[in-house]
Structure 1
Amino acid sequence: MVTRKMISIDEELCNGCGQCVPACEEGALAIVDGKAKLVKEIYCDGLGACLGDCPTGALKVEVREAEDFNPEAVAEHLKAQGRTVPGHMPDPESLRLDKPAGGPRPMGGCPGSAMQALTPCGQANVPTATAPAGGSQLSHWPIQLRLVPPTAPFLKEADLLLTADCVAAAYPGYHAEFVPGRVVLMGCPKFDNQMEYVEKLAGIIGENDLKSITVLEMEVPCCSSMSVILGEAVKRAGKSVDTIRVTISRTGTILSSVPLEFQS
């Protein structure tokens, strides 16, 4: 048994609609006697891709002792059901919360993680009316969420752009429409450690008087947990920030842009 995240189901809220079942790529959920059930702990990666597909809010992610996630067992389970096996599944060790996944990551260990302003000091927080054609609009480095410390100077009073990794490749207007005037933080809510993201974002929100947060997610289920991560971070930080969630389609269009309200 290890300590990790796991899906839990509130049977009083569950109406048995079954929308969560296909949303779980690993086949960890099933409808039994009119209610959603966790088939086996070893099938659930605990990353919460199914949360956004539950219309009643019956699903949530909790941290508890559970059996290790088992990609090989998942593959056999899905093949037996005639379902597609995901091309990539997280490493079980990366999901364990007993110790930092992969050991400690010292800041500065890689020269490429050194902080750097790519424009004059403070330029990241100066809105740009129109972005010049072509070229990167990045104002700072690094941009990976797990590499940026909460005390990074470019975060002070910033307009934050929290971006799921795939968005920049899918949306052709990413640099021109979203990056100018914002501080970019990127990450993958499916394959990276979500609790590390929660703690990092809580620190960033707590340390800096952020002006706004724009969350860019793909339409695929695994991306919807980026907003869930942010919501938990806001709760831990105890500070609310004006937030907008933008959902991008796989064909590169904006599907929705809606404000989010989190309880701090």
Structure 2
Amino acid sequence: MNEKITILTPSYNRAHTLPNLYKSLLLQDNQNFEWLIVDDGSKDNTKELVNSFCKDEKIKITYLFQKNGGKHSAINTGIKKIENSITFIVDSDDVLTEDAISSIYKYWPIVVEKNLIGISFLRGYSVNKAIGDEFPKQMMIENFNKIRYKSSFNWGDKAEVVSTLKLRETPFPIYEGENFMSEGVVWKQLARKGDSLLVSQIIYITEYLEDGLTKSGRRLLLNNPLGAMLNSKLAMTKEFEMKVRIKNTMLYVAYGFFAKKTAREIVIGSNQNILTMAFLPFGWGIYRFWRKKYEI
């Protein structure tokens, strides 16, 4: 692999936002990167738009089209294609600061030297306002699972730059009939392979659109319960503090019932039988409440 960055952008019907991301890429103070767009079955003019970008011949762009399978599926597709050693996942409705690429190159030697999984930079609502808490230090090495799931820390969305090889070793599971899965499924498993470099610097600006995945909230998880179960199950192990384990156990149970699992199947599948049995009634109560609230 080349010690170079690939910006991976999964996209679905985002022809109206991609030009903003494209413009921010053209403004990078370091142009040593490639842009890979995985079109997840868009029905708008995404393909024609990307072709117009390619004709500009200003940056190297690769376009892949796949049948709609969800963002997690598009990421899997992209990772298989990437030949560069560094992957930066950037959503199709967001933009980068002008120093984003140069900042990654500045800190990446530490990732290589310490055999880390990657770098977590800050995302911001603007260049001056971070999403979630800033890290305790300007630069620190920490395990994602230990800091992300501390009850006292508001993680928020971060800009994740990851080793392509490690991402390829940890693909998203694919469940038939489900087209959404939290990225936490991969990040939790990656954290079990090593620590990350955390840098308190905003390099990524996010706007939460009304039709975006983040805004879709709980209903999206309830409509994709197997992936939601897995995400919760991964936070039920002893590496997490007890508050986190209990919360995710109840969520795991609730999503299990939405997935039409029996209580026995939910308990056995958890690999945390005692914990799951203890909080099974609470998870059932959450399931009943959500089923009524969301009319599912």
What's the TM-score once normalised by structure 1's chain length?
Answer: 0.29
TM-score, normalised relative to structure 2: 0.27
Where relative contact order (Cα < 8 A, 6+ residues apart) is larger, the structure is 2
